[in-house]
Structure 1
Amino acid sequence: MKFSENWLRQHVKVDASRDELAATLTAIGLEVEELTPLGEQLDGVVVARIVSAEKHPQADRLQVCRVDAGQGEPLQIVCGAPNAHAGLVAPLAMVGSRVGDITIKAAKLRGVESNGMLCSARELGLDSDGAGLMELPDDAPVGAPLADCLGLPDATIELKLTPNRADCFGIRGIAFDVAAACDSKVTVAEPVPMPALSDAALPVALDAGADVPRYVGRVIANLDPTCKTPLWMAERLRRSGVRPVSFLVDVTQYVMLELGQPMHAFDRDRLRGPVGVRRARAGETLKLLDGRDVTLDEGFLVVTDAGRAVALGGVMGGYDTRVTETTRSVFLEAAHFAPAAVIGRARRLGMHTDAAHRYERGVDPELPRQAIEMATRLILEIAGGVPGPVTEAVLPEHLPRPRSIVLRRARLARVLGLVVDDAEVDRILRALGFAVEAIDDGWRVTPPARRFDLAIEEDLIEEVARIHGYDRIPVTLPGGATRLAVPEEGRTPEADLRRQLVARDYLEAVNYAFIDAALLARWQADAGAVPLANPLSAELGVMRTLLLPGLVDALAGNTARQQPRVRLFEIGKVFEGRESGIGNRESGEATATAAVETSGSAPVETLRIAAVATGDARVEQWGEAAREVDFHDLKGDLESLAACAGAQLEFRPAQAAYGHPGRSAEVVRDGARVGWIGELHPRLLAALELDRRVLAFEVDLAAVQRRALPRAGALTRFPSVRRDLAFIVAQDVPWASVEASIRTAAGPLLAGLRLFDRYQGKGVESGCKSLAMGLILQDKSRTLTDHDVEDVKGRIIAVLERDHGARIRS
């Protein structure tokens, strides 16, 4: 919310300086994001009129102007502004004044004397428009100081509002908070009803139920179509970040900024009547004010004229019924649209409007009539006209009603940790516009309709705290006993896993749980993706089904910034509308409103850990030759995580859509698939515009957290025996399957198995490989004999020959 400081001070009289006012706003929860002083150095800048403008004899783009500055004899000014012409009223910086860092002096420009400087709004620091001279109204007093003419000095204040403070999207709402904080009162009275001077009216019908429970309209005829927006109104709009367009449009914008109630003006002569509000029909089209044609569905609200859609309810007016420079009769509307009926509708069309921004957060349902009366008064005072009666359609049963809330004195003191005087509590609540009734143990408070964010006692406690001053609440340590949480022995803490990866040179990343649906589709991981009913943006439209897309996107951002070696990991949840069969699931509530298309239940949440790596395997050094990170580096990192829980992982060849063929594997624990590891597919890397290899893994977190409880056992007194064997097997036979066969054949005597060599080359035929392993055999009850060892070896050889076509390497 951006507004003029002087405009706010008109509503509430306070003695605080500008800096004190900004500090007060921030202290009460209305954070001042930006404060820009205006017109601080305008001494010597006056209102002037260009009497004549002739081409400069030595320059095509310059004009020699004679300017009346109210000093009798016109001044000669050389000006290069494209809009300089005879009759224009504009600011003139006199000789000796300062404009920004420049002191104005008499000078010769291309041989012609110039005694001052005609200024643009940007040169004076009043606006960003520097395309030409700042145009002032024709009736502006020539020779008067510009500061007096524009109501300067002033400042623009921009607030960063939290979503619950929708009442502060109008100057009046902010004024109540400032009045309470500064022990003052809101001075601007409620708009005075303007009597009807004609019978001109349009009937209104509501057919959208609770979505639009109130609609107010009024016809004003015989307006002056040549009327211009007065300077004071145009300046207030500019300082609030709104560009003046035309008088009727500017009036509706002005009322919205002052009261917080969006309005719209229709050209009455383009309406047939009656006016109505209903749900849009599927496939219904509408041309909006900005000229775009939109196709609607039943999720939108439309304002209708004789059944045809003429405006998009709560978002934007229609093109066909817009007001123009020839409009002589206008139909003003102000309605209460329920937030649920408007939220997300503008974003679905790729739009953002001031009206939708306010309606989405909630607007006081009592404001529409006040807005109509205020706009009527402004129009009649400035452009004349004959007003008709106010037409109001209302569905009382659907209007939100303020509820009284009991604030207990003891509860207030307990939560805040201090005692606030009853008189101070009463003052704060009344200054905020609340109806207050004293009761035995505190107060019964009824918030105004604009404060629908207040529902429970704690809300009132927060109001008292922020106005009384957070800095006045004592800082004390919490008291009471705390319950000691016993760590779960069967589960490795997340912190341990984080430390393990950090120790292996990874950095932790935190990405949004929402992701672009197109990005998921590129990964071919969009099956079961849960779309959001109200996404923050199109790029955050669905809940992620994988951690890797976000991690790889972060990796790409780092490599694009000349980081040659990147290691990132993340622990977070993924969401699916159906089971995907990738390990154990942990159900829970979704963190955003989601439309689950695959089932009526909440999305399935799974906590996972993922990591990505690219670049050299080691940091640049002299001790060993540089080499690129490979599958086995990442496999070692994952196994180190599993080792924290004493877990044994298996790796089996797998074909994932995003994995490199032959360079990826599924991760298995206890026979269940729990994740994926490998190199990303070259086609995916090309689509992501990555020109380097990327290794990654993603596994269910529970798979590397779960650990067996330690059990004490006696040490064996009998020695172990080691036998080394080398087998030749087909190249496509994975070690995991060979290992499983050996463990099955050896039985309980196998105390350890070590693969210490894998060889291909001379002495091994093409298409085969040699696997050399060490068998460690041991019995806890006796010393093994040669016969025992040979028996185990024989069983292993027989099983490997039978299951894998292996043979002993000579």
Structure 2
Amino acid sequence: MKFSENWLRQHVATDATRDELAATLTAIGLEVEELTPLGAQLDGVVVARIVSADKHPQADRLQVCQVDAGNGTTVQIVCGAPNARAGLVAPLATIGTRIGDITIKAAKLRGVESSGMLCSARELGVDADASGLLELPGDAPVGTPLADYLGLPDASIELKLTPNRADCFSVRGIAFDVAAACGSEVAAFDAAPVPAQGDAALAVQLDAGADAPRYVGRVIEGVDASRATPVWMAERLRRSGIRPVSLLVDVTQYVMLELGQPMHAFDRDLLRGPVGVRRGRQGEALTLLDGRDVVADPGFLVITDADRAVALAGVMGGADTRVTEATKNVFLEAAHFAPSAIIGRGRRLGLHTDAGHRFERGVDPELPRTAIEVATRLVLDIAGGTPGPVTEAVLPEHLPQPRTIALRRARLARVLGLDIADAEVERILRALGLGVEANADGWTVTAPTRRFDLAIEEDLVEEVARIHGYDTIPTTLPGGATRLAAPTETRVPEQDLRRQLAARDYLEAINYAFVDARLLETWQAQAGAVPLANPLSAELGAMRTQLLPGLVAALARNAARQQSRVRLFEIGKVFEGRDPGPGNQDPEQRPAPVETLRVAAVACGDASSEQWGEPARRVDFHDLKGDLDSLVALSGAKLDYRPAQPAWAHPGRAAEVLRDGVAIGAIGELHPRLQQALGLDHAVVAFEVDLAPLRERAVPRARTLSKFPSVRRDLAFVVAEDVSWQAVADTVRAAAGAVLRDLQLFDRYAGKGVESGFKSFAMGLILQEDSRTLTDREVDAAVASVTAALESAHRARIRG
């Protein structure tokens, strides 16, 4: 919020200096982000008129001007401004005036005497424009001190407001806080109704329910819209960061800045009537004031004229019904829109407007009629005209009502840690515009409708604290014992997983949770992707559904920078959109995506760093599998693997990862087509699994080791090539039963002695009992059971 210091002081009288005022605003939570003094040294600068402007005899870019300074004589000024011309009214710095670090003296420029200086806005410190002389209105009184004419000195103050302080998006709203902090009162405001002088009116219809519960309008006929905006109004707009456009538009902007109520002016002769508010229709098109064509949908509110959309409610008006200097009859509107109906709508179209900024945060529902009366008076005073009656449509059941909140004296003292006198509490609350009624326990406070942020007792405690002064609240250490939370044994700490991967030569990467939607399509991972309504860039347009696309992209960037061996891991969230259900296509109402924490790793290049102790070889599936097994080993568990074909993986070189029979992710080598699409020259192996199953571990339980010896039997079976070791191992464990303590695969062979299409698995069975020594008969029975099971399940036979 940007505003003029003098404008604020018109609403609240205070003896505070400019610096004290700025410090007070920041201290009460309205942070002053920028303060720009304007026109601090203008003594000796007067309003002057150029009578004639002739070319300098010795310089092409200079003119010799005769200037009327209002003292009955003309002075000669040599000027190089491109807009210097006869009849122009501009500021004149007379001899002896100090402008910045320069004192104006009589001088000769290229042989021609000059007795003063015609000034630009930048030279005077009232604006940043240095393109030419500051052009003043033609009716400006010549000879008047410029400071008096422009209402200077002044300052432009910009506040950095928090979203909850919507009431401070107006000069008058800020005045209440200043009055409370400075011990003064807000000046009375003249918003007396302007009586109707004609019958011209437009009917108003509300068809948006709680989204638009109030709409106020008024027709004013016979206005002279070509009249110039008064200097005092134009200067206040400029100092508030708004460029004056035309009288009718400037009036609506002025009222919005002063009261906080956005308004709009329609050309009445371009309206057919009646005017209404409703939800947009799918594909409904209109052209906005800035010239862009937009398409509405049921997520937008639109202002209608005879059922045609003429404006986006709370965002921007339409070009077809805009006012111009040729407008004779104007229709002024002011409405109340629910924040939920406006929030995010402008961003969907790439728009940010002052009106939308206010409506998104909440505007006082009681302001529209006041704003119409104030705007009417301004239009009549400046441009004349005949006002019609005020037309108002309202749905009372949907209007926010003033809240009544109990503030307990004891609670206030307990939270703040100090006692504040009842009289001071009441003064603060009343100065803020709140209704206060004392009772035995404290006060019953009625919050005005403009204060959307006041709902519970703690809100009132905060109001008293910030106005009384945070620096007056004593600093005390909290008392009582501190409860220490013991780490659980049922989960492996996430940091331990990070340390384990770092110990195995991986570097941690942190990627954006947003990726290019086209990258997800390349990975065939676009299913469930959630697009962003307002992405930072096109390359960050969707929420990631996998970690690997971003991680492999990071690997590719490193490989492109001559890093032949890259090993990266990431722990982060992936997101999957949920079905909003039939008929619910409003992006604002869709359920939040499902978040899943995962761990992923990628590797390429040599398996080991460069060294001389063993031959170099490329990292492969089994290297990465060993790294993943080392992670789950921290929980004392084991992972199972079964052949699978993820969309991103090389056929025959990938597997699904399971824990306790539940799939938790995948591991494998990148598909050659994907490698080519990503510009990778070498094979890349990767895994991505859910993090939560890796962290689960059973509470350690002690048990007695068996005192009896174990027995080992080594067996070799021939099975078909397509039979996996995992399937064989599962069968062996099921057949051997409780006596099988461990199973080791110590050889896999295919070649001479084994027919084509088959392979041999050599395994060791470790058998043991806790209560006795196993007999040869029991061992032979277990081996026979395993042999029979393998023959039945996999057509295996003992290798001769």
TM-score of the alignment, normalized to the shorter chain, above 0.5: yes
Q: CA deviation at 1:129?
A: 4.8
Instruction: Answer with 433-442 or 364-373: which moved more.
Output: 364-373
2-side partners of 1:111 and 1:728: how far apart? 113
Which residue number in structure 1 is paired with residue 766 of structure 2? Answer: 777
Deviates more, 1:319-328 or 1:378-387: 378-387
Amino acid at match of 2:768: D
| Partner SS state of residue 340, structure 1 | helix
Match of 1:400 in 2: 400
Residue 368 of structure 1 deviates from its aligned partner by 0.7
Q: Measure, in 2, the Cα distance between the counterparts of 1:180 and 1:629.
A: 71
2:347 is aligned to: 347
CA distance in 2 between partners of 1:742 and 1:677 (Å): 25
CA contact (8 A) 1:35 1:158 kept: yes
Q: Which runs of 5+ in 1 are unaligned?
A: 580-591, 597-601
User: CA–CA distance in 2 between the matches of 1:618 and 1:16?
Assistant: 72
TM superposition shift of 1:174: 1.5
Does the C-alpha gap of structure 1 residues 476 and 123 become closer, same or farther in structure 2, counting only changes over 3 Å? same
Alpha-carbon distance in 2 for matches of 1:357, 1:620 = 57
Distance in 1 (CA, whole Å) between partners of 2:789 and 2:672 is 39
Give 1:669's aligned residue: 659
The residue number in structure 2 matching 1:273 is 273
Paired with 1:94 and 1:555, the residues of 2 have a C-alpha distance of: 69
Partners of 1:146 and 1:554 in 2: how far apart? 62
- Residue 261 of structure 1 deviates from its aligned partner by 0.4
Which residue of structure 2 aligns with residue 361 of structure 1?
Answer: 361
Please tell me whether the aligned partners of residues 551 and 568 of structure 2 are also in contact (alpha carbons under 8 angstroms).
no
Cα drift, residue 648 of structure 1: 1.2
User: Match for residue 597 of structure 2?
Assistant: 608
Q: 2:79 aligns with which of 63, 77, 83?
A: 77
The equivalent of 1:460 in structure 2 is 460
Match of 1:585 in 2: none
After TM superposition, give the deviation of residue 281 of structure 1 in Å.
3.5
- Matching of residue 316 in structure 1 with residue 316 in structure 2: yes
1:349-386 superposed Cα distances (whole Å, 9 cap, x missing partner): 33222212211221101111111121122222222323
Q: 1:654 to 1:384 in 2, by over 3 A?
A: same
Give the stretch that moved more between structures: 339-348 or 87-96.
Answer: 87-96
Partners of 1:511 and 1:551 within 8 A in 2 = no
The count of aligned residue pairs is: 787
Name the residue aligned to 2:632.
Answer: 642
TM-aligned CA deviation for residue 439 of structure 1: 0.7
Q: Deviations over 1:299-351 (max 9, x none)?
A: 33332333333222222212111101211221111111122332333333332
1:724, 1:772 within 8 Å by CA — same for their partners in 2? no
Q: Distance in 1 between matches of 2:53 and 2:68?
A: 15
Cα 1:483/1:205, change in 2 over 3 Å: same
Aligned AA (2:663): R
Q: How far does residue 526 in structure 1 lie from its aligned partner after superposition? A: 4.3
| Cα pair 1:606 1:700 within 8 Å, conserved | no
Give the stretch that moved more between structures: 535-544 or 18-27: 535-544
Alignment of 1:443 with 2:443, yes or no, is yes
Q: Which aligned pairs between 1:237-248 and structure 2 lie closer than 5 A?
A: 237-248=237-248
2:706 maps to a residue whose letter is T
- Counterpart of 1:577 in structure 2 is 578
Q: CA deviation at 1:430?
A: 0.6
Is 2:254 the counterpart of 1:254?
A: yes
1:225 aligns with 2:225: yes
Amino acid at match of 2:366: E
The within-5 A match list for 1:278-289 is: 278-289=278-289
**How far apart in 1 are the matches of 2:787 and 2:101?**
91
Q: Is the 8 A contact 1:717 1:780 kept in 2?
A: no
* Segment of structure 1 superposing worse, 286-295 or 477-486: 477-486
Give the TM-score taking structure 2 as reference length.
0.82
CA displacement at 1:297 relative to structure 2:
3.0
Name which of structure 1's ranges 275-284 and 643-652 shifts more when overlaid on structure 2: 275-284
Q: Contact (CA 8 Å) 1:46, 1:69: kept in 2 or not?
A: no
- Distance verdict in 2 for CA 1:440–1:87, change over 3 Å: same
Residue 641 of structure 2, aligned match among 625, 636, 651 = 651
Segment of structure 1 superposing worse, 435-444 or 412-421: 412-421
AA at the equivalent of 2:766: L
Are the aligned partners of 2:714 and 2:762 in contact in 1 as well (CA < 8 Å)? yes
Instruction: Find the aligned partners of 1:726 and 1:106 in 2 and give their Cα distance.
Output: 113
Measured in 2, the distance between the counterparts of 1:805 and 1:132 equals 97
3-state secondary structure, aligned to 2:664: strand
Distance in 2 separating the partners of 1:48 and 1:724: 112
| Residue of structure 2 aligned with 1:712, choices 699, 702, 708 | 702
* 1:619-667 C-alpha deviation (Å, 9 max, x unpaired): 9988999998765565454333322222212233433334455554322
Give the partner amino acid of 2:647.
A
Tell whether the 8 Å contact from 1:51 to 1:65 is kept in structure 2 after alignment: no
TM-score where L is the length of structure 1: 0.81
CA apart distance, 1:685:
7.2
Amino acid at match of 2:394: V
SS in 2 for 1:460: helix
Do the aligned partners of residues 705 and 309 (structure 1) sit closer, same or farther apart at CA in structure 2, a change above 3 Å counting?
Answer: same
Letter of the structure 2 residue corresponding to residue 453 of structure 1: D
Which residue pairs with 1:194 in the alignment? 194
State the match for 2:65 in structure 1. Answer: 66
Mapped to 1, the partners of 2:773 and 2:19 lie a distance apart of: 88
Aligned mates of 1:611, 1:664 — CA distance in 2: 15
- 8 Å CA contact 1:770–1:809 kept in 2: the answer is no
C-alpha contact (below 8 Å) 1:53/1:63 kept by paired residues: no
On the 8 A contact 2:289/2:318 being kept in 1, the answer is yes
Question: Share of identical aligned residues, percent?
Answer: 66
Q: Distance in 2 between matches of 1:662 and 1:43?
A: 87
Partner of 1:165: 165
Query: 2-side partners of 1:364 and 1:220: how far apart?
Result: 25
Tell which deviates more after alignment, 106-115 or 546-555. Answer: 106-115
Structure 1 letter corresponding to 2:570? F
Question: Partners of 1:261 and 1:199 in 2: how far apart?
Answer: 26
Cα-to-partner distance string for 1:429-484 (whole Å, 9 max, x where unaligned): 11110000001101000011101222222221222222222333233333446666
Counterpart CA distance in 2 for 1:679 and 1:342 is 49
Aligned residue runs from structure 1 range 8-27, under 5 A: 8-27=8-27
8 Å Cα contact 1:78/1:109 also seen in 2:
no
Q: CA RMSD in A?
A: 4.8
How far residue 15 of structure 1 moved from its aligned partner, in angstroms, is: 3.4
Q: Is the 8 A contact 1:45 1:145 kept in 2?
A: yes
Name the stretch that deviates more: 730-739 or 300-309.
Answer: 730-739
Cα separation, partners in 2 of 1:631 and 1:474, compared to 1, 3 Å: farther
Counterpart-to-counterpart distance in 2, 1:511 and 1:95? 62
Label 1:667 to 1:218 Cα distance change in 2 as closer, same or farther (>3 A): same
Contact 1:559/1:566 (<8 A) preserved: no
Quote how far apart the aligned CAs of 1:293 are: 3.0
Name the SS for the 2:75 alignment partner: coil
Distance 2:529 2:657 in 1: 23
Look up the equivalent residue of 1:714 and give its one-letter code. Answer: T
Q: Quick check: 637-646 or 40-49, which moved more?
A: 40-49
Residue matched to 1:587: none
Larger radius of gyration: 2
**Whole-angstrom distance in 1 between the partners of 2:245 and 2:708:** 96
For the residues of structure 1 that align with 2:725 and 2:603, how far apart are their CA atoms? 26
Quick one: distance in 2 between partners of 1:636 and 1:254? 70
Once the two structures are superposed, what CA deviation does each residue of 1:727-758 show, in whole Å capped at 9, x if it has no partner?
Answer: 99888776545654565566656555566888
The aligned counterpart of 1:326 is: 326
Letter in 2 for 1:375: A
Q: How does 1:278-677 map to 2 (within 5 A)?
A: 278-480=278-480, 485=485, 487-498=487-498, 500=500, 506-507=507-508, 509=510, 523-528=523-528, 545-546=545-546, 567=568, 569-572=570-573, 574-577=575-578, 595-596=589-590, 605=594, 607-613=596-602, 634-659=624-649, 661=651, 664-677=654-667
| Equivalence for 2:583 | none
